[in-house]
Amino acid sequence: MKENDVNRPKAWLLAFAWVLPLFGLLPAHAAGDNEIETLRGELTELRRTYEARLQALEQRLETAEAQRTPAVVPASTAQASPPEAAGAARAQSAGTFNPALSLILNGTFSDQSLAPSEYRVTGYQPAGQTAPLARSFSLGESELFVTANVDHYFMGALNLSLNDADRATVEEAYFRTLELGRGLNLKGGRFLSGIGYQNSVHAHAWDFVDPSLVQRALLGDNYGDDGLQLTWLAPTDRFLELGVEAGRGHQRVGYAADNPADANGVGSMAAFAHLGDDVGTGGSYRLGLSYLRQRANTVGLPLADLDTVTGTTNLFRGRSSLYGLDAVYKWSPQGNTQYQGLKLVAEVFSLHRDGILTYDVNPSTGGAGAQGLGPQVDPLRLTQTGWYIQGVWQFDPVWRTGLRYDRLEAPSLEAGANASRLSGADFRPQRLSLMLDWNPSEFSRIRLQLSQDRSQPGARDDQIFLQYNYSLGAHGAHGY
Amino acid sequence: MNRIVPYFATFLLLLLGSAPANAALSIFACEPEWAALASELAGARATVYAATTAQQNVHMVQARPSLIARARNADLLICSGADLEVGWLPPVIQQSGNERIVPGKRGNLEAANYVPLLDVPAVVDRALGDLHPRGNPHVHLDPHNLLKVAHELELRLAALDPAGATEYASRAKAFAARMETAIRHWEERAAPLRGVGVIEHHKEFTYLFHWLGMTVLGSLEPKPGVEPTSSHLEELLRQQKESPAKLILQANNRDPRPAQWLSEKTATPAVALPWTLGGDAAARDLFSLFDELIDLMLKARKS
């Protein structure tokens, strides 16, 4: 770049910097110090008169209230009195522009026949990578939501997740456009991906204590990323929404090796489509199709469950593609959700890995390398597929019960020269959960859940969870 | 890929086939009463979509795909406001990607902003139930409020569709004239109800009772939005012996059992009222709604 090119903007800035104060001085000259003082005085006077008037009005309201006999309210005076009451509620304060805050408190008491440290999902998640909730009393996950409009173009939101190990994580921190129009919404920052149905639902709004097995095994409970999301709603009477996402890929799909991608460009891409409508007077549905692709520049792939020997560390380089299908159906008599309602959800996810596996890069761990086998590099194709179906029946204004069945298929594996060291585990993890919850108001929920988890061969985990879930602060709104 | 193309094309055609018909304006009304008011004022110049029905509890509606799709093309959204739709309307507006109807825009009309609100709580605390900090949002049940909202609606319609301004003005004038005559008639007919003490289910008829000079002596809900409990009903039973209410009134989309129980124990008539049009066969429009409400209450009072 030539020196002139650099200097030109500098010159403009200089000129601007000189001219700006001149403009700033103009009104000040026009007004003059005396006039400012006069204006200030007038303002104070105005404020005083208003305060006096307000007090007088309040007094009148009080006397009127005292005189009014409760039994008879003539229609004419009834019309005149309320505005003052409304005015009082609109009183301004320094907090007017504060963001809306809402806090979720959540905790559990649980009893599990298997120690959480022993928990694994055969063929999907080795022990120590994922676990059900802690046993006995535990705090679970508290969430803090802060949200407000930034200006007329953007809104901003932060969702902090505070877990029982005293760690705070930024679950979401994003901006979104307010007035892009034409059915478009642009979101940027960190947010939960729009793939699938349950993935973008926060933990406090789940219908069960824990996420589905497939979501836990492939999406790490909730898959989120740092990036951008653009959605478009078709201008038709039938709901058709399309969305695309581009991100860093900082949260890995599948095995939870959460390596930060140290690479330029876009590390992951996602796309989804939603179609939905009403069915009759009481029913509605939404169908979804999702796709997520991640580039893996040599990440750890702990295939612990598939290894024939223990203590290995593997590296994977290649592409991970996730396909998803989801369906939601809701029904309530005449669409009145107050007394009864049914919600059915089913989702399928399939993860395909295609790349190169460097098997056992760390012989010092006493793994295969130590046994004289040495690291070996060869193509890897791995497919992991799982699904669930759940139904929640609200049989009373405050009571709901639900049943969920989870199933993961045995992974299919083509490991080339590494095949002798990896066994495609011929086991299909499954789980059955029964839930009953009591919702005395929109803001509280007490839930009992019984699960029978068969995620590993020969060891059944019987789980009992008792959970509280409270939301404090701003009245939240939930998506479909 | 080639195999998918024809399917995709068919799919798109199906969708395009369902694109909305072209009137000058498209109006999204959160509740049936506002849909009716919009139709009164806009006539054939607008297609009006009512998002909810009289059978639903409008505070607890799901942000369904169909609502989002309908909000997408709306030029004007008319709702009760004052947080009545707070649980579902914000995501509907947001997901619709329709900048014309976001709060603060000309295409977003909240009725509660144009009428004096009742029941504004002095203390806002969730321990007191599901309070609406700005006041009671069920404003349409005082017909004087309908006139106020109609006036604002006329201004919005004219601003959004200047070509129809004269039509909106003449329709609004005709509506106001009809409504004013009807109000005088209703106030005369309802004179026997003045001063009558009632027990309500939920505070959804506050504006009606206030307008007709009726007195609320208690609610079946122990706190706003909290379902009736047996201990609270026992308390109402005791209260009914000391200072008896003449009527037990509730919206007909509510559970009738608590009102029936109290009615049987105290020999006080319980009446289920349509809270908006479509609530029963007789409440077909904004005029027959008030005819029906007053009819039902007078009938119960005589029995």
**Are B165 and B66 part of one and the same domain?**
yes
**Which structural domain, as residue segments, surrounds residue B78?**
23-185
Q: Is B138 an 8 Å CB contact of chain A?
A: no
Instruction: Give the whole-angstrom CA distance, residue B209 versus residue B196.
Output: 9
Instruction: Give the whole-angstrom CA distance, residue B143 versus residue B183.
Output: 7
pLDDT at A2: 41
Does residue B296 sit within a domain?
yes
Interchain proximity A83–B116, CB inside 8 Å: yes
Residues of A in contact with B16 (CB under 8 A): 236
Q: By CA distance, what is B190's nearest residue in A?
A: A75
DSSP string, A335-356: G-TTT-EEEEEEEEEEEEEEEE
pLDDT bucket at A3, cuts 50 / 70 / 90: very low
CATH (domain of B58): 3.40.50.1980
Interchain proximity B18–A238, CB inside 8 Å: yes
- For residues B114-139, average pLDDT: 89
Chain segment B144-174, per-residue pLDDT in tens: 999 999 999 999 999 999 999 999 999 999 9
Q: By CA distance, what is B211's nearest residue in A?
A: A75
Residue given tokens 């139930």 in the structure block? B129
3-state helix, strand, coil in chain A (%, to 5): 25, 45, 30
Mean pLDDT score of chain A: 79
| CA-based nearest residue to B127, from A470, A144, A448, A86 | A470
Residues of B in contact with A338 (CB under 8 A): 57, 60, 253
Q: Mutate which of A62, A73, A470 to test chain B, going by most B C-beta atoms within 10 A?
A: A73
Distance of CA A415 to the CA centre of its chain: 35
Interchain proximity B60–A337, CB inside 8 Å: yes
**Are B180 and B195 part of one and the same domain?**
no
Q: Is B133 an 8 Å CB contact of chain A?
A: yes
Q: Find the CB nearest B117 among A82, A398, A477.
A: A82
Is a pLDDT exceeding 80 seen at residue A64? no
Are the C-beta atoms of residues B221 and B249 closer than 8 Å to each other?
no
Is a pLDDT exceeding 50 seen at residue A303? yes
**What are the strands of the beta sheet with B215-219, ordered from one edge?**
B215-219, B197-200, B247-251, B270-273
Are the C-beta atoms of residues B303 and B218 closer than 8 Å to each other?
no
Interchain proximity B227–A397, CB inside 8 Å: yes
From residue A139, alpha-carbon distances to A108, A109, A230, A434 in Å are 6, 9, 35, 22
- For residues A73-92, average pLDDT: 38
Does residue B5 sit within a domain?
no
pLDDT at A478: 86
Q: Find the CB nearest B97 among A184, A285, A330.
A: A184
Is a pLDDT exceeding 50 seen at residue A144? yes
Q: Find the CB nearest B118 among A82, A336, A440.
A: A82
DSSP B288: H
**Are B139 and B243 part of one and the same domain?**
no
Between these two residues, A289 and A477, which has the higher pLDDT value?
A: A289
Q: How many residues does chain A have?
A: 480
DSSP A202: -
Q: By CA distance, what is B68's nearest residue in A?
A: A239
**Are B54 and B155 part of one and the same domain?**
yes
Distance (Å) from the alpha carbon of B93 to chain A's nearest alpha carbon: 10
Is a pLDDT exceeding 80 seen at residue B286? yes
Interchain proximity A281–B53, CB inside 8 Å: yes
Instruction: Give the whole-angstrom CA distance, residue A236 versus residue A239.
Output: 7
pLDDT at A365: 52
**Are B202 and B154 part of one and the same domain?**
no
Instruction: Give the whole-angstrom CA distance, residue B215 versus residue B8.
Output: 62
Q: By CA distance, what is A185's nearest residue in B?
A: B97
From residue A352, alpha-carbon distances to A304, A308, B259 in Å are 18, 22, 59
The Cβ of residue B189 has, within 10 Å, a number of other Cβ atoms equal to 15
Interchain proximity B94–A176, CB inside 8 Å: yes
Residue A180: what residue type? L
Instruction: Give the whole-angstrom CA distance, residue A257 versus residue A320.
Output: 13
From residue A162, alpha-carbon distances to A108, A166, A209, B226 in Å are 14, 7, 17, 30
Q: Is B4 an 8 Å CB contact of chain A?
A: no
Looking at the DSSP assignment, which residues form a beta bridge with residue A388?
A347, A406
- End of a domain among B185, B212, B247? B185
Q: How many residues does chain B have?
A: 303
The Cβ of residue A52 has, within 10 Å, a number of other Cβ atoms equal to 10
Is a pLDDT exceeding 50 seen at residue B283? yes
**Are B33 and B118 part of one and the same domain?**
yes
Q: Is B61 an 8 Å CB contact of chain A?
A: yes
- End of a domain among B135, B154, B185? B185
Does residue B4 sit within a domain?
no
Chain segment A466-478, per-residue pLDDT in tens: 999 999 988 878 8
| CA-based nearest residue to A333, from B57, B86, B64 | B57
| CA-based nearest residue to A390, from A178, A206, A254 | A206
Are the C-beta atoms of residues A212 and A347 closer than 8 Å to each other?
yes
**Are B35 and B171 part of one and the same domain?**
yes
Residue A370, both tokens:
């130590």
pLDDT at B212: 96
Three-state secondary structure call for residue A361: coil
pLDDT bucket at A61, cuts 50 / 70 / 90: low
Report domain extents, chain A. 12-60, 113-127+178-473
Residue given tokens 């049914």 in the structure block? A342
| CA-based nearest residue to A100, from A477, A474, A476, A480 | A474
Does residue B3 sit within a domain?
no
DSSP B232: H
Q: Is B192 an 8 Å CB contact of chain A?
A: no
Distance of CA A314 to the CA centre of its chain: 31
Chain segment A239-288, per-residue pLDDT in tens: 999 999 999 887 777 754 545 556 677 888 999 999 999 999 899 999 99
Chain B stretch 14-43, residues whose beta carbon is closer than 8 A to a beta carbon of chain A: 15-16, 18-20
Are the C-beta atoms of residues A237 and B20 closer than 8 Å to each other?
yes
In CATH terms, the fold of domain A113-127+178-473 is Porin (2.40.160)
Between these two residues, B66 and A13, which has the higher pLDDT value?
A: B66
CA R_g for chain B: 21
pLDDT at A256: 47
Mean pLDDT score of chain B: 91
Residues of A in contact with B197 (CB under 8 A): 71
Chain segment B90-115, per-residue pLDDT in tens: 999 999 999 999 999 999 999 999 99
**Are B31 and B176 part of one and the same domain?**
yes
Interchain proximity A442–B197, CB inside 8 Å: no
Distance (Å) from the alpha carbon of A470 to chain B's nearest alpha carbon: 12
Q: Find the CB nearest A276 among B65, B133, B144.
A: B65
**Are B235 and B129 part of one and the same domain?**
no
DSSP string, A235-303: SSSSEEEEEEEEE---S-SSS--------SS-SEEEEEEEEEEEETTTEEEEEEEEEEEEEEEEEE---
Interchain proximity A86–B65, CB inside 8 Å: no
Interchain proximity B91–A88, CB inside 8 Å: no
**Are B218 and B287 part of one and the same domain?**
yes
Is a pLDDT exceeding 90 seen at residue B126? no
| CA-based nearest residue to A90, from A54, A60, A119, A121 | A54
Q: Is B194 an 8 Å CB contact of chain A?
A: yes
Say what the ipTM of the complex is: 0.89
Angle (deg, nearest 10), helices B143-160 and B165-189: 180
Q: Give every CB contact of residue B117 below 8 A, 6+ residues apart in sequence.
A: A82, A85, A86, B82, B134, B135, B136, B137, B139
Three-state secondary structure call for residue A319: strand
**Are B125 and B215 part of one and the same domain?**
no
Interchain proximity B87–A477, CB inside 8 Å: yes
3-state helix, strand, coil in chain B (%, to 5): 50, 10, 35
Interchain proximity B225–A442, CB inside 8 Å: yes
pLDDT at B221: 93
From residue A229, alpha-carbon distances to A133, A187, A316, B154, B203 in Å are 31, 5, 27, 39, 42
pLDDT at A166: 85
Three-state secondary structure call for residue A37: helix
pLDDT at A7: 46
Does residue B11 sit within a domain?
no
Residues of A in contact with B225 (CB under 8 A): 441-442
Q: Is A182 left (phi over 0), alpha (psi -120 to 50) or beta?
A: left
Are the C-beta atoms of residues A270 and A247 closer than 8 Å to each other?
yes
Interchain proximity B215–A88, CB inside 8 Å: no
**Are B172 and B218 part of one and the same domain?**
no
Interchain proximity B90–A477, CB inside 8 Å: yes
Does residue B85 sit within a domain?
yes
Q: What are phi and psi of A324, to 5 degrees?
A: -140, 150
Distance of CA A339 to the CA centre of its chain: 28
Distance of CA B43 to the CA centre of its chain: 20
Instruction: Give the whole-angstrom CA distance, residue A324 versus residue A193.
Output: 12
pLDDT at A72: 34
Interchain proximity B225–A337, CB inside 8 Å: no
Q: Find the CB nearest A336 among B117, B197, B253.
A: B253
Residue given tokens 């070996």 in the structure block? A376
Q: Mutate which of A232, A272, A336 to test chain B, going by most B C-beta atoms within 10 A?
A: A336
Chain B stretch 83-122, residues whose beta carbon is closer than 8 A to a beta carbon of chain A: 83, 86-91, 94-100, 102, 116-118, 120
From residue B184, alpha-carbon distances to B143, B179, B188, B190 in Å are 11, 9, 6, 10
Does residue B2 sit within a domain?
no
Distance of CA A6 to the CA centre of its chain: 44
- For residues A356-362, average pLDDT: 72
Q: Find the CB nearest B134 among A89, A241, A330.
A: A89
> Structural domain tally of chain B?
2
Residue A255: what residue type? Y
Is a pLDDT exceeding 50 seen at residue A83? no
Q: Mutate which of B11, B52, B64 to test chain A, going by most A C-beta atoms within 10 A?
A: B64
| CA-based nearest residue to A122, from A318, A307, A387 | A307
